[in-house]
């Protein structure tokens, strides 16, 4: 008679032990998968820009925070404002957690805007996080006639573009449509580095959007020597930098609530300054591990030290918060979305 309760006790104890060890076994399965493997971060822009530098710096420290400690390499797949890279990771790349996309910040809004060539649904992507909340600025070369923001209404300003869905084209196009500025976009530059060189050569007069952190790190002498004039801040809130103290914010330029709502949508992209995602279909346990490793890297003292020297401020957003931001944007009233879509549409396109 004593053997029955003893067996039941053993079964109960064994079940409890399984329950207690389940999380570690789950974590171990992620570690087993990644051990000895190589993760590819596919950057949807050219070598040498802010997206590329950020991905390469992340790759140095990411493996130490991911179970199994895989190797991480960076490859570049520029084209169509990161749409080519996003399509590839979404449709073709292995959906096992070994390929991460590092795309340009408009990508989370491409499904909303209905851009040509988009073969992904942003709402189904599994976002890992963003490394910074990126402030953009409108910049004029010192020989250009534009000295203040008001001059953007008086004189045509020729700016360099890096693709129809990238910030240097999208934001000046939106300002032309909503505010009536007079930007003329010369497209076809591979990246912001080439736009900067074109400014120096006198091919163009400036940039309709340039990440302020990139200027601070890459061309601090241009600020100190007044080689450039910063005419406008592009973001939801003003920068605390003393360099930008007297530079107006686009949200304050909006003349009525309707214009402000449009720019709230568009400037929401700036909050997702350096976004990373994996495809739908990647198992949840690996997505959770990748998200945790991403945020752990963002807080890694060694990463922050290198980022301070190479990248500028790190102001990360978690993958879960990104999913929430994107869900809220896509739930906005149709009339606001339609106005924002019209604001960024290329003239003459359907």
Per-residue pLDDT of the chain in tens (350 residues, 90 and over written 9)? 444 444 344 334 433 433 343 444 444 599 999 999 999 999 999 898 889 999 999 999 999 999 999 999 999 999 888 999 999 999 999 999 999 999 998 898 887 777 678 999 999 999 999 998 888 999 999 999 999 999 999 999 999 998 887 889 989 999 999 999 999 999 999 888 899 999 999 999 999 999 898 898 889 999 999 999 999 999 888 988 999 999 999 999 998 888 888 888 888 778 788 999 999 999 999 999 999 999 999 999 999 999 988 887 788 999 999 998 888 888 888 888 888 888 887 766 65
The predicted pLDDT at position 112 comes to 79
What local confidence, expressed as pLDDT, does residue 9 receive?
Answer: 42
The residues, any chain, with a CB within 8 Å of residue 161's CB and separated by 6 or more, are: 168, 169, 185, 186, 187, 188, 189, 195, 208
Both 95 and 175 in one domain: the answer is: no
Q: Give domain status of residue 23, yes or no.
A: no
Q: Are strands 126-130 and 275-278 parallel, antiparallel or unpaired?
A: antiparallel
pLDDT of residue 345: 79
239: exposed, middle or buried (Cβ count in 10 Å: 0-12, 13-18, 19+): middle
What is the distance, to the nearest Å, from the Cα of residue 182 to the centroid of all Cα atoms in its chain? 27
pLDDT at 5: 44
Q: What is the pLDDT of residue 22?
A: 41
Look at residue 94 in the predicted model and tell me its pLDDT: 97
Q: Do 45 and 126 lie in a common domain?
A: yes
pLDDT of residue 350: 55
Residue 38 confidence (pLDDT): 98
**Same domain membership, residue 116 and residue 203:** no
Q: Does 172 lie in the same domain as 108? A: no
Looking at 221, 238, 269, which one is the last position of a domain?
A: 269
Give the pTM: 0.70
C-alpha to C-alpha distance for 69 and 179, rounded to whole angstroms: 50
User: How many helices and strands (H and E) does the chain possess?
Assistant: 15, 11
Residue 2 lies in a domain: no
CATH number for the domain that contains residue 261 = 3.40.190.10
- Residue 103 belongs to domain with CATH number: 3.40.190.150
| Measured distance CA(129)–CA(299) in Å, rounded | 13
Residue 306 DSSP label: H
Instruction: Provide the domain count of the chain.
Output: 2
Bridge pairing between strands 136-141 and 99-102: unpaired
Say if strands 183-186 and 157-160 run parallel, antiparallel, or are unpaired.
Answer: parallel
324 domain-assigned: yes
Expressed as residue numbers, the domain containing 235 is 136-269
Predicted pLDDT of residue 348:
63
């Amino acid at each position: 008679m004593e053997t029955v309760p003893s067996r039941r006790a053993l079964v109960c104890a064994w079940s409890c032990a399984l329950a207690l060890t389940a999380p570690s076994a789950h974590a171990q399965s992620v570690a087993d998968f990644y051990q000895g493997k190589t993760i590819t971060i596919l950057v949807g822009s050219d070598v040498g820009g802010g997206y590329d530098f950020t991905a390469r710096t992340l790759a140095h420290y990411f493996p130490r925070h991911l179970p199994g400690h895989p190797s991480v390499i960076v490859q570049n797949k520029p084209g169509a404002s990161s749409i080519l890279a996003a399509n590839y990771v979404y449709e073709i790349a292995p959906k096992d957690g070994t390929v991460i996309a590092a795309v340009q910040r408009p990508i989370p809004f491409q499904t909303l805007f209905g851009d040509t060539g988009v073969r992904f649904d942003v709402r189904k992507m599994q976002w890992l996080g963003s490394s910074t909340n990126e402030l953009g600025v409108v910049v004029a070369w010192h020989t250009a006639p534009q000295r203040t923001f008001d001059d953007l209404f008086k004189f045509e300003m020729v700016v360099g573009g890096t693709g129809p869905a990238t910030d240097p084209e999208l934001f000046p196009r939106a300002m032309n449509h909503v505010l009536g500025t007079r930007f003329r976009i010369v497209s076809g530059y591979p990246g912001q580095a080439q736009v900067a060189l074109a400014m120096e050569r006198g091919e163009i007069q400036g940039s309709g959007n340039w990440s302020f952190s990139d200027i601070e790190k890459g061309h601090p002498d241009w600020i100190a020597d007044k080689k450039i004039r910063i005419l406008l801040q592009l973001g939801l809130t003003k920068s605390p930098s003393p360099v930008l103290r007297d530079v107006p914010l686009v949200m304050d330029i909006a003349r009525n609530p309707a214009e402000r709502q449009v720019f709230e949508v568009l400037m929401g992209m700036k909050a997702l300054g350096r976004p990373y995602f994996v495809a739908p279909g990647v198992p949840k346990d690996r997505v959770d591990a990748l998200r945790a490793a991403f945020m752990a890297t963002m807080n890694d003292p060694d990463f922050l030290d290198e980022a301070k020297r190479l990248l500028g401020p790190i102001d990360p957003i978690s993958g879960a918060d990104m999913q929430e931001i994107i869900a809220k944007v896509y739930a906005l009233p149709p009339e606001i979305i339609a106005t924002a879509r019209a604001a960024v549409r290329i003239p003459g396109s359907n």
